Amino acid sequence: MDYFIARSEGAIWSFVQTTRMGSYVGIWSMATPPEYQRQGAGRALLQAVLAYHQERGADFFYLMASSAGRALYQGVGFQETTRLTCWLRNTSAQVGGG
């Protein structure tokens, strides 16, 4: 498991967590605080993470994400293959709630 953090002047701008098995890399968690969203921090970090793994022999990347991340992931080359049902017990800022 690898953790990648983008910081500026001590503040965390974005975070990505990955796992790797051979040439496959799973992106399990990606977050950017609301005050830094839509400023390019998440995209820059994700591109650096992809390059890091590619330089080490990764060929395939996969992830599951809410629709909030669709434009970002499509923008760096991911393609949607399946839509899943999300079950919530409480609310989520990313998936249909507060």
* Residue 70: both structure tokens together: 């669709």
What pLDDT digit, counting tens, does each position of 50-81 carry?
Answer: 999 999 999 999 998 888 888 899 999 999 99
* Residue 16: both structure tokens together: 């990505």
What average pLDDT does the structure give for the chain?
89
Please give the CATH topology (third level) of the domain spanning 2-75.
Answer: Aminopeptidase (3.40.630)
CB 94 within 8 A of CB 85: no
Q: Who has greater pLDDT, 27 or 10?
A: 27
* Residue 33: both structure tokens together: 């605080």
Q: What is the domain partition of the chain in residue ranges?
A: 2-75
Residue 69 φ then ψ, to 5°: -95, 0
Residue 11 has pLDDT above 80, yes or no: yes
